[in-house]
Structure 1
């Protein structure tokens, strides 16, 4: 969230400035006055201790990998509520913390990537979906089938979903494998909640994103102000589940079997 990034940046800068000013000026003045180095003021002592830790966390979180927790069922069956994931922060270019401004271009999103982003109508929160449409694509969703540039995707029925995590009001859902070019993956269909039909042409610099839980996902099909995700709102590419834990202190369950699963 923006508030956490802001606090982290402010604390890192503040402790760094205090430590640097003391090292360059105040420590020398104390030595010149007394002929020896006095005990450091408490504020300087804390700044010297915390600055390296805060700086390391800021660099890793901003430019290497950032942890997120899955809060909803929209990416089932591949991501469950309570999954803690890692997001590659340099896959699509290095970005500044807080304002998310890209300053080094590295790569571009590919069809099928699972991405974390800030939706254009909710910039203070992070969402996660799968990229279905690239700039210039014509995306159609009809009869619970995705069409890309007029070509229907193929689906293999795997049966009735028997795992955990179905949202309230959904007794059962069909589990299928969607043959997205270059990235086949599982999706869920709950036919009693079918919605989101339409056709969209993805503009330059934007992407069309959908949840894998097709009938329980607030994604590009249903967004109120725009159906497209701007490139500058991307936060990174999800690549690993490192923990699954529901509720405070895992009071609602801990699933060790999900640790280390890659995100397809």
Structure 2
């Protein structure tokens, strides 16, 4: 059985918490009682008395790690979680090797492990960069841009998104090519105005593409990568259920690329649009 990080942390919290609690309720009083009897009988040195009252190593570790585990679990489950970008599907917004921070509460507060929403904080907005559990394999996290909201009619024709019959405006900036992430020589960098903001995308005019129209059911979202011709997204495997949402990506906190010598300093702290 594959255990994800929240599950491992929850199990660790339960185990360390139980050890600490058992020591407080049972083992520590028993140690103090033995020490009291030894003291009453006389002939017990201070060193021996200290040894009698000493916590076992297992209890000491449990007491030390339990609060740390709880803090990490709460932070990752309810507030902010780090992710690493493993593929180029979100180029040019996110690069391979970027480490990002994801706001976990913006779409609602969920219980860890079972992912049940307990407080509704808000809904994804068109244009958000969202992390979600891949519908075909929920153990895998994906990151894409929210294109279609519940009830939308989304079309994709001739490298252009259509939302309820209206084309999303685009503007060609120029050719796109980076040695570390080679695309075809015809790749173009464009600005796309989706929702209330704008962002950059990459398209390859000569590449074959998946075209069609899709109706987004209630409680679901249509996701697409910014690297339009090299993204495995909703055009291929369908929409994302609301319960699969993890959070909204908002910042690059580290970027590491071996072929560029390590840390890419100018990407650190960059906000995700």
TM-score, normalising length: structure 2 = 0.90
The runs of 5 or more residues in structure 2 that have no matched partner are 37-48
Instruction: Determine which of 123, 138, 159 is the counterpart of 1:144.
Output: 159
Per-residue deviation, residues 104-160 of structure 1 (Å, max 9, x unmatched): 111111111100001110111100000000001000000111100000111111101
> Does structure 1 residue 244 correspond to structure 2 residue 255?
yes
| 1:25 aligned partner | 26
Q: Once the 2 structures are TM-superposed, how far is the Cα of residue 15 of structure 1 from its aligned partner?
A: 0.6
Q: Tell me the distance in 1 between the aligned counterparts of 2:211 and 2:117.
A: 34
Q: Once the 2 structures are TM-superposed, how far is the Cα of residue 66 of structure 1 from its aligned partner?
A: 0.2
Q: Tell me the distance in 1 between the aligned counterparts of 2:109 and 2:159.
A: 36
> Does structure 1 residue 173 correspond to structure 2 residue 184?
no
Rate the CA distance shift 1:2–1:114 in 2: closer, same or farther, 3 A: farther
| 1:77 aligned partner | 92
Q: Which has the higher helix share?
A: 2
| 1:220 aligned partner | 234
Per-residue deviation, residues 145-189 of structure 1 (Å, max 9, x unmatched): 11000001111111011445435x634510000111202111000
> Does structure 1 residue 255 correspond to structure 2 residue 269?
no
**Pairwise CA RMSD:** 1.7
Map 1:58-207 → 2, pairs under 5 A: 58-163=73-178, 165-167=180-182, 170-207=184-221
Larger Rg: 2
CA contact (8 A) 2:177 2:185 kept: no
Q: Tell me the distance in 1 between the aligned counterparts of 2:204 and 2:120.
A: 39
TM-score, normalising length: structure 1 = 0.93
Rate the CA distance shift 1:215–1:78 in 2: closer, same or farther, 3 A: same
Q: Aligned residue pairs: how many? A: 258
Q: 238-247 vs 126-135, which deviates more?
A: 238-247
Q: Tell me the distance in 1 between the aligned counterparts of 2:164 and 2:207.
A: 26
| 1:6 aligned partner | 7
| Secondary structure, aligned partner of 2:138 | coil
Q: Tell me the distance in 2 between the aligned counterparts of 1:204 and 1:183.
A: 24
CA contact (8 A) 2:125 2:195 kept: no
CA contact (8 A) 2:189 2:200 kept: yes
Q: Tell me the distance in 2 between the aligned counterparts of 1:216 and 1:252.
A: 25
